[in-house]
Structure 1
Amino acid sequence: MARPRGVERRAEILRATIEVIAERGYRGTTLGAVAERVGLTQQGLLHYFPTKEALLLAVMDERDQWDTGGGSRGADGWRLELLTSMVDYNAMRPGIVQTFSALLGESVTEGHPAGEFFTRRYVQVRGNMAGVLRDEFGDRLPSGLTPEQTAPLLVAVMDGLQYQWLLAPESVDMPEAFRAFVTLLRGGAEGPER
């Protein structure tokens, strides 16, 4: 079944936005640059996304869909190894990480259009992370904490490492630091990941 033209055009705009972010970073991404990339006027782009924030939030939503395989867990569930791979992948796309981090930081201000998106996202992400931890450790981690108690900490480490890495990529090895945290989750046991 053919996709409606509007759906295809939105997908094209999102792909172009990701390209522009990768090339120019968050601040350098303008509606005009994206519109030019897809052969639209800026006014034409606003027909699909009424503001830059709406466009960037759609990119973040699309990014989450790609990262999580559509948000569903497979039969075997997610594993800590998948999270580690996601951190490795994020280290290769600083523009997207920068956009996520900038929008997240701005979203905590009252009335910001991204506030609701990130509030919903974090509820879902904490639930997903609790599921990852439960699949890996059962009802208790080696520390004695439950997956639900640990999930917000896991999310905080992932997001906090992104900020530190963006500020000083030469001194913060985000993937290595995340692997060290996984070692802590596993009770400090060294060796290959399970």
Structure 2
Amino acid sequence: MTTRGPYAKGLAKREEILDTALEQFARHGYDRTSVREIARQAGLSQAGLLHHFSTKEELFLEVLRRRDDRATVPDEFDHTHSVGRLMGAVERNAGEPGLVRLFVSMSAESIEGEGVAHGFFVERYRWLIDEIAQDIRVQQEAGELTSAIEPKEAASLLVAAADGLQLQWLLDPGSVDMASLMSRLWGILKRVV
């Protein structure tokens, strides 16, 4: 059954606002993006936008969550993670420079202070590393991966490499093949003795 009526229109407008906000945040960063400009670009008044998202921070967090959702395959929204899913996300990110730029700039900006974005990124990294470490632990227990490295350490290295490669790719896209380099790193970690 499809959703119709005012509820469907509200959901469609919310999606349009998120698309617009993602583009604006990716292009200008959080601090240089105004709610007024996002509203204008989405064909709304500022009050109309604030009907859907009560604050700029709330809108921003939804954009970040959406970025994470876009970095997964549509049928994989179970909010678990693995080495394979990290590799797939890195590969797909090569086709989403705006999303990558948003993520890199927003994660860097979130270092300052204790704002909502800071909390989001702290929790996101804890969750991501824990999820990948669990996958690594399962592979170690199955004898598919050496146990010479602690699962959490390996997960942290993989996430750090993915983030660093994204930054290098943004600075010089033609010289960095993120997916290939991540695969090589994973291959090296699997052979550690």
Does TM, scored on the shorter chain, surpass 0.5?
Answer: yes
Task: Provide the residue aligned with 1:113 in structure 2.
Answer: 116
Give the conservation status (yes or no) of the 8 Å contact 2:21–2:38: yes
Task: Provide the residue aligned with 1:47 in structure 2.
Answer: 51
* 1:117 partner SS: helix
Match of 1:87 among 71, 86, 90: 90
Aligned-residue offset at 1:171: 2.0
Aligned-residue offset at 1:67: 3.3
Distance 1:99 1:52, change over 3 A: farther
TM-score by length of 2: 0.77
Higher mean alpha-carbon deviation, 29-38 vs 160-169, is at: 29-38
1:163-182 aligned at under 5 Å gives the runs 163-182=167-186
* 2:116 partner SS: coil
2:130 partner amino acid: G
Give the conservation status (yes or no) of the 8 Å contact 2:82–2:132: no
Task: Provide the residue aligned with 1:191 in structure 2.
Answer: none
Q: Does 1:160 align with 2:164?
A: yes
Aligned-residue offset at 1:7: 5.0
Q: Does 1:150 align with 2:154?
A: yes
Higher mean alpha-carbon deviation, 171-180 vs 130-139, is at: 130-139
1:1-194 aligned at under 5 Å gives the runs 2=3, 4=7, 7-18=11-22, 20-21=23-24, 25-27=27-29, 31-68=35-72, 69-73=76-80, 80-138=83-141, 141-142=145-146, 144-187=148-191
Distance 1:35 1:96, change over 3 A: same
Give the conservation status (yes or no) of the 8 Å contact 1:13–1:38: yes
Structure 1 segments unaligned to the other structure (5+ residues): 189-194
- Root mean square deviation of aligned Cα: 2.9
- Percent identical among aligned pairs is 36
Distance 1:170 1:21, change over 3 A: farther
* 2:173 partner SS: coil
Give the conservation status (yes or no) of the 8 Å contact 2:132–2:155: yes
Structure 2 segments unaligned to the other structure (5+ residues): none
